[in-house]
Amino acid sequence: MAITPKSTSTSSQTDIAFAQNGRGYLSLMQNSSDTNLKLAPHSDWSKMRDVEHFVQFYEADTFLLNSLSGFIGAGLGAGDACIVVATEAHRQGLEERLKDNGLDLAAVRARGKYISLDAGETLSKLMVNGSLEPQRFTEVIGELVTRAAKSGSHVRIFGEMVALLWMEGNAAAAIRLEELWNELQNNTHPFSLFCAYAMHGFDGEAYGAQFTEICGQHSQVIPDESYTLLSSPDERLLAITLLQQKANSLEAEIAERKTVEERLRELEKRKDEFISMASHELKTPVTSLKGFTQVLQRRFKTRDDQESLRFLSIMDSQLNKLTRLINDLLDISKMQQGRLDYQEDPFDLNALVQEIVENLQAGISTHQLLIVDRTEAQVVGDRDRVGQVLMNLLANAIKYSPKADTVIVRVSKDQQNAIVSVQDFGIGIDPTHHELIFGQFYQVTDAAEKTYPGLGMGLYICAEIIRRHAGRIWVESRKYHGSTFTFSLPLQEEKAPKESYCH
Ligand code: ADP
């Protein structure tokens, strides 16, 4: 689609039009009939054609306002009727500039030669349920143009509603509105229309096609000031060459990134498959070792071989550690595949906390696990999985506070949530890691941390389980000042009474 001027006017002004080249992006063309290259578009705003719909891209508001005051100021000077549909800031900026140029704005306004409207308000009159209503456009805008053209004068319009739609992310409506302006231009009195878009609104690869489409709605496209303000044709040609080179290298880079992303996704998939396979393969021999350890334990017990029993008990606890790691790996791989099933049963979180703390305490002599606050808190979910979260937090509290001897547990609730916290007096965590430690395989690695075993799976699993229960998990901690891990779960909603009595 070539973007060429629709006007047949024979203005001496140089036409700048953009056309798509074969490779999909825009290149600048000059009107071949004009041999005297003068590339600055609309340097003379008085030489407007009768019918024109051009778009000005801009980076700074000041640049837009200068162009706009040139366009409107020249129009008013030539006796044109001018309509400005703009944001409040742009109307103000424009009017200040017009006054500074000696224009009696009140007088031209009184003569109906200057009509200004708020872009947002006017746009809301054209929209029904988020979409543009062509009928309303004809009524509101069509009527406005007819009124302005009544005196027989030529009409100049600055319209910013398209830019508002674009900034709201409603690209389809912005393009449709541009089309409606074009239809109006063909069907009613001729007018010159000035559209403007902030260039930063078009950042990102996704906008390429829509950008082309917007340009395609205009008879002229004026680049932003980084090009337009260049003073000589040579400078502009250099700028275009540099932009072309930039576009080429960006396209190459994007293509390269896509390949790398694809490769990363493939590797990520293979990693997940490996974790899943490895954890399944490890499970069978460990289960078998565990079974035979128990058989041996029974044999050595009957023979009263204390030393062998001690070795076997060490073996057994190491096998338990291995089993926990394998189970964590299995959980992670199931979570990644969305295959982890959760029960949906009501249970008292407080009772679960008591149970887990008692069980854990029975096997631990280094720390005292103290429950200081308790309250009945009925929640709905998977009791075993929530128990797994608490076990993980308690195990970490013990592991990461080797010099302390107490871990404090609290159960409380607010209006909507049951809240459980586990506080330790250990090595603490610097705030820079607080979000990251809930990620997969993340471990804080600094000199002090190196001696702690682990794979960085526990907190990720906790966060996933809590997320699936529509709860929250977080940490409050500072390096060397201990840590408090807290999770909250929505309280079970109280059932409405079965019968209600009216007195
Ligand atoms: P792991 O403990 O196996 O490394 P986790 O996912 O349970 O994995 O924890 C991730 C990281 O968060 C740990 O490596 C550790 O650096 C930090 N961390 C977790 N709990 C605590 C705690 N109570 N005190 C200090 N650091 C902790």
Q: How confident is the model over 15-58, as pLDDT tens digits?
A: 333 333 333 333 333 333 333 333 345 556 766 667 889 999 99
Q: Read off the pLDDT band of 233 (50, 70, 90).
A: confident
Give the Å distances, CA to CA, from 425 to 237, 438, 447.
67, 20, 19
Report which ligand 1 atom has the smallest distance to the Cα of 422: 23
* Contact 328 CB / ligand 1 (< 6 Å): no
pLDDT digits (tens, 9 = 90+) for 480-492: 999 999 999 999 9
Judge contact between 421 and 396, C-beta under 8 A.
no
Q: Which residue has its alpha carbon closest to ligand 1 atom 12?
A: 437
CB of residue 459 inside a 6 A radius of ligand 1: yes
Q: How many Å lie between the centroid of ligand 1 and the Cα of residue 271?
A: 23
CB contact at 8 A, 184 and 217: no
Highest mean pLDDT among 180-189, 400-409, 453-462: 400-409
Tell me the C-alpha distance between 470 and 284, whole Å: 34
Is the beta carbon of 458 within 6 A of some atom in ligand 1?
Answer: yes
User: Which pLDDT tens digit goes with each residue over 60-82?
Assistant: 999 999 999 999 999 999 899 99
* Strands, sheet with 417-424, edge to edge from the N-terminal-most edge strand: 368-373, 406-413, 417-424, 483-490, 472-477
DSSP string spanning 306-331? Answer: HHHHHHHHHHHHHHHHHHHHHHHHHH
Q: Distance (Å, rounded) from C-alpha 134 to C-alpha 131? A: 9
Q: Is the CB of 424 under 6 A from ligand 1?
A: yes
The residue-averaged pLDDT of 246-264 equals 94
Block residue for tokens 């100021």: 73
Mutate to test the pocket of ligand 1, among 399, 433, 443 (most ligand atoms within 8 A of CB): 443
Distance 407 CA to ligand 1 centre (A): 15
Question: pLDDT above 90 covers what percent of the chain?
Answer: 66
pLDDT greater than 70 at residue 129: yes
d(CA 485, CA 477): 8
Any atom of ligand 1 within 6 Å of the Cβ of 332: no
CA 401 to ligand 1: nearest atom? 24
Contact 406, 425 (CB under 8 A): yes
pLDDT, tens digit, 9 for 90 and up, residues 395-426: 999 999 999 999 999 999 999 999 999 999 99
Rounded to 10 degrees, what is the CA torsion of 389, 393, 396, 400?
160
Q: Which atom of ligand 1 is nearest to the CA of 397?
A: 23
What burial class does residue 252 get, using C-beta atoms within 10 Å of its C-beta: 0-12 exposed, 13-18 middle, 19+ buried?
Answer: exposed
Neighbours of 402 (CB within 10 A): 13
Beta-bridge partners for 485: 422, 475
Does ligand 1 lie within 6 Å of residue 429's CB atom? yes
Taking the CA atoms of 457, 459, 462 and 463 in sequence, report the sign of the dihedral they define: negative
- Per DSSP, the three-state class of 274 is helix
Q: Is 483 in the pocket of ligand 1 (CB under 6 A)?
A: yes
Atom of ligand 1 nearest to the CA of 445: 16
* Best residue for ligand 1 mutational test, from 400, 422, 440, 460 (most atoms within 8 Å of Cβ): 400
Select from 388, 393, 396, 446 the residue to mutate for testing ligand 1; criterion: most ligand atoms less than 8 Å from CB: 396
**Ligand 1 pocket member 449 (CB < 6 A):** yes
Is 408 in contact with 370 (CB distance < 8 Å)? yes
Residue nearest to atom 23 of ligand 1 (CA): 397
* Residue 303: CB atoms within 10 Å: 9
Q: What is the pLDDT of residue 48?
A: 66
The region that residue 129 occupies, defined by phi over 0 for left and psi between -120 and 50 for alpha, beta otherwise, is left
Task: Dump the DSSP string for 120-142.
Answer: HHHHHHHEETTEE-HHHHIIIII
Task: Give me the helices (H) in 51-203, please.
Answer: 61-77, 88-100, 105-110, 119-126, 134-137, 143-148, 161-167, 171-187
Q: Which of 459, 465, 475, 487 to mutate to test the pocket of ligand 1 (most atoms within 8 A of CB)?
A: 459
Return the percentage of the chain with pLDDT > 70, whole number.
Answer: 87
Please measure the distance between the N-terminal and C-terminal CA atoms of the chain and give it in whole angstroms: 76
Distance 395 CA to ligand 1 centre (A): 10
CB of 427 sitting under 6 A from ligand 1: yes
Q: Which residue has the higher pLDDT, 2 or 106?
A: 106
User: pLDDT for 293-327, tens place per residue?
Assistant: 999 999 999 999 999 999 999 999 999 999 999 99
What is the spatial order of strands in the sheet that 191-198 belongs to? 114-118, 81-86, 155-159, 191-198, 52-58, 220-222
Q: How far is the CA of 443 from the centre of ligand 1 (A)?
A: 6
Residue 482 CB–ligand 1 contact under 6 Å:
no
Q: Tell me how far the alpha carbon of residue 481 lies from the centroid of ligand 1, in angstroms.
A: 15
Q: Please report how the helices 306-336 and 458-468 are oriented relative to each other, as an axis angle in degrees rounded to 10.
A: 50
CA 456 / ligand 1 centre spacing (Å): 7
Query: Looking at residue 153, what is its pLDDT?
Result: 84
CA of 364 to the centre of ligand 1 (A): 19
Residue 3 confidence (pLDDT): 35
Position 40 scores a pLDDT of 40
